[in-house]
Structure 1
Amino acid sequence: MSNAGLDRRTRRRQETIEEILTAAIELMEAEGVASLSLSAVARQLGMQPPSLYQYFPSKMAIYDALFQRGAEFFRDARREAQAAAGTDDIRELDLIAVTAYTRWCLEHPVYSQLLFWRTIPGFEPSPEAYAPAQETLEDLRQHLQAGVDRGQLRPEAATDEGLALYTSITAGPVSQQLANEPDASFEEGRFVRLLPTVLDMFYQYYAPSGGRHDSSTSD
C-alpha cells in the first residue's frame, strides 16, 4: 500500500475515533456519565458493536480517551486565557485562569465530571490520559512559584500541600454551582461569584507576613 493510501486510512480511523467520542459525549449529556454503553454508542453511529470494538475494546477505553481529550481542552483553555491576559500581575492572572477554568467546567459538565469528580465506578485514567492534567498542575505550580519569587506568597504555597489547598478551594464553588444551579450561567451563578473571595483567602493564608494567624504564637 502506498503512503498516500496509508495516510488516508489513518485519517479515516482518526475521524471515526472522533465521531465515536462525540457520540459518547452526547449520550452522556442525555443519560448520565456513568450510564454509557458501547451498544448505545454503536447505535448512535449506525455501527455494529463488533465494528466499534476495533477502535475501543471496552467502555473504560472510551472513558480514558475522553479523559485525555478533556484534560487537553482544559489545559489549553487555561493557557490561552493567561496568554491573552495582557498583564503579568500574579493576582490578576490567577483570577483570569480560575475564571477560565470555571467557565470551561460550566460549559462542559460531562468532561468536568470525568476530570474532577469520581462519577464512574472503577475508572482510573491511564498515565497517558492523565499526562495533560499533570501539565496543568505543573503550570499552576510555576504560577504559584512566580508569586513566591515576587514576594506575594510564602514558599509553602508552591508545594504539594499548597497545590492541594489551591485546587480544593477553587474547585469548591464550581462543584457547588454544578450541583445546585447547573443551568445558571457564569454571570448568574451565586457560587462561582465567590471565586475572587476564595483566591483572597488563599493569598491571605500564604501571605509572607501578617496574613495568617500563627497558632504557635501565644496570645
Structure 2
Amino acid sequence: MAIASSPTGRVERRRAAVVDEALDHAVALMTTDGVGALSINEVARRMGIRGPSLYKYFPSRHAVYDALFARGLALQQAAVGAAVADVPRGAPRIRAGAAAVVRWAVEHPALAQLLYWRPVPGFEPSAATFAPSVDEMSDVRAEFAEAVRLGQLAPRADSDETVRLYTVVLAGLISQQLANQPGVRYADGDFSSLTDAAIDLFLSAHTP
C-alpha cells in the first residue's frame, strides 16, 4: 500500500523546484548578458511569474548570487572529485584536479566568473556558502603534503605559500581564457590548452 507524501515534503519539493528553475534562468541570463545583468524581475518574467513572487524564495538580488555561488562551487567540486577519483595520490592528483578546475570554468563561464572574479559590486558569498571552498583548499593542501611525503615534490612544496601560488596559476589560466576567448572549448583554447604544461612547469620548480 502506497503511503502519501506529507504536505511538508510536497512543499519542500515544490520550493526546491522553483529555486532550481530560477537559478537555471539566472545562469542563462548571466551567460548572454553578463553576470552583473542579473535581475530578479527578469528571472521571474522568464518563469512566467511576477517579480514579488520570486522574493518569497530570494529576499534580495545578492541572495540569488549567493545561491548561484553555492551551485557553482558544488558543480566544480563534483567535477574535480570525479576527475581525481581513480588517480594516485600526490602529484598525479594535483595535475588531474588542476585540469578539472580549468575545464569546468571554461565550460561554465558565468558561474566561473562569480567564483573567481568579483563581477558584482558589494557581493560576497555568505560564510556558509563559502565554507566548502575552505574545505576544498584544505584538501589541496593535504595533497601537496602527500606529494612531499611520497618524494614526488621537495619539502618546500608542503607550505601554504605553494598552495596559494598554485591557485594563482589556475586563476590566471581561467581568467585569460574567459577574457580573451569566451566560448572556445577547453581543448582548443589558446590558454586553457596550456593547463597541463603550466602545472608541470609549476611542479618542476618543486622537484626534489
TM-score (norm 2): 0.92
SS at match of 1:187: helix
Higher relative contact order structure (alpha carbons within 8 Å, sequence separation ≥ 6) = 2
The corresponding residue for 1:178 is: 178
The corresponding residue for 2:105 is: 105
1:139 has 2:139 as partner = yes
Number of aligned residue pairs: give it. Answer: 205
Write the letter of the residue equivalent to 1:183.
Answer: G
Taking the aligned partners of 2:89 and 2:62, their CA distance within structure 1 comes to 42
Q: Which residue among 48, 63, 67 is the counterpart of 2:65?
A: 63
Taking the aligned partners of 1:196 and 1:16, their CA distance within structure 2 comes to 40
Shift in Å, 1:111: 0.7
The corresponding residue for 2:84 is: 82
Larger C-alpha radius of gyration, 1 or 2?
A: 1
The corresponding residue for 1:43 is: 45
Give the superposed CA RMSD: 1.7
The corresponding residue for 1:24 is: 26
Q: Is contact 1:42–1:48 with CA below 8 Å preserved after alignment? A: yes
Q: Is contact 1:70–1:115 with CA below 8 Å preserved after alignment? A: yes
SS at match of 1:124: coil
The corresponding residue for 2:187 is: 187
The corresponding residue for 2:54 is: 52
SS at match of 1:18: helix
Shift in Å, 1:55: 0.3
1:205 has 2:171 as partner = no
Residues 64-90 of structure 1 show CA distances to partners (whole Å, capped at 9, x for unaligned) of 01101111111111011100x3x4163
Write the letter of the residue equivalent to 1:118.
Answer: R
Shift in Å, 1:157: 2.3
Shift in Å, 1:37: 1.1
Unaligned runs of 5+ in 1: 209-219
The corresponding residue for 2:165 is: 165
Q: Is contact 2:19–2:57 with CA below 8 Å preserved after alignment? A: yes
**Segment drifting more, 53-62 vs 23-32:** 23-32
Taking the aligned partners of 2:38 and 2:193, their CA distance within structure 1 comes to 33
Shift in Å, 1:182: 1.4
Taking the aligned partners of 1:79 and 1:145, their CA distance within structure 2 comes to 18
TM-score (norm 1): 0.88
Unaligned runs of 5+ in 2: none
SS at match of 1:125: coil
Residues 133-171 of structure 1 show CA distances to partners (whole Å, capped at 9, x for unaligned) of 122212211111111111222344232211110010122
| Shift in CA distance, 158/44, structure 1 to aligned 2, threshold 3 Å | farther
SS at match of 1:195: helix
